[in-house]
Amino acid sequence: MTPAPERQMTAEALESAVDKIELTDLQRDLVRIQWLQTLSWMDRRAAKSWAVYTILRLVAILGAVFVPALIAVNPAVEWAPTVRIVTFSLSLCVAIATALESFLRSGDRWRHYRRNSEALRLEGMQYLMLSGPYDDAASHRDGFQLFATRLNGILSSEVDAYFTQVAVEKQTGEQGESRSNEKQ
């Protein structure tokens, strides 16, 4: 995950590079809208998902470490009620954090957005440098159609992947759990 100031600097650098390449005004606007804005949005979503995932996982991990230790403690009589309340509260926090992560799937979302962000970044960098699939293009104008086609392909597969990997699996997993609960 890239820290916010570095992401901002990168976004500004990419915007500056787009301003310098030979494109029509319409093509330049389309590059900004379709590539730069989508890349920025994916980066923000990845960062948000990473933060949620990290917080929930840390609560679950740290709580899972401390609950058994608190259970094993044999406190003095005057501390016993407090230790029981702390143990119960901490175990409840672990259960809530685990349930929220399972429901929100922030780890899956983070991986999804990060993978797509990097694919968009790579495609855009290849276009800006006229490398990779754009080697044969004499100019950015010549490579624009290929860039637009490849960019739309990435975005189309991103939508498909989101609904099959993040949204649909969530529903399938929940349905599978309720079916297995019905069998018991």
Question: Is 36 domain-assigned?
Answer: no
Distance of alpha carbon 52 from alpha carbon 95, whole angstroms: 16
Answer with the residue of higher pLDDT: 160 or 4: 160
How does pLDDT run across 127-158, given as a tens digit for each residue? 999 999 999 999 999 999 999 999 999 999 88
> DSSP E strands: which ranges in 69-119?
none
Is residue 17 a part of any domain in this protein? no
What per-residue confidence (pLDDT) applies to 162?
A: 80
CA 135 to mean position of chain CA atoms: 31
Q: What is the pTM of this model?
A: 0.76
> Is position 184 within any domain?
no
**Mean of all residue pLDDT scores within the chain:** 87
Gap between the Cα atoms of 46 and 3, Å rounded = 11
Residue 179 belongs to a domain:
no
Residue 183 domain flag: no
Please report the pLDDT score of residue 176 as a whole number. Answer: 47
Residue 139 structural domain = 41-174
Q: How many angstroms separate the Cα of 157 from the Cα of each of 62, 126, 146?
A: 37, 19, 16
Quote the number of domains for the chain.
1
**Which residue matches tokens 């349905």?**
175
Average pLDDT rounded to a whole number, residues 150-172:
78
Q: Is residue 34 part of a domain?
A: no
Is 25 within the bounds of a domain?
no
Asked if residue 28 is part of any domain, the answer here is no
Decide if pLDDT at 182 tops 70.
Answer: no
22-78 per-position pLDDT tens digit: 999 999 999 999 999 999 999 999 999 999 999 999 999 999 999 999 988 888 888
pLDDT score, position 161: 81
Confidence of residue 164 (pLDDT cuts 50, 70, 90): confident
Q: How far apart are CA 11 and CA 20, in angstroms?
A: 14
Please report, as a single letter, which amino acid is at residue 97: A
- Please report which confidence band the pLDDT of residue 7 belongs to, taking 50, 70 and 90 as the band edges: low
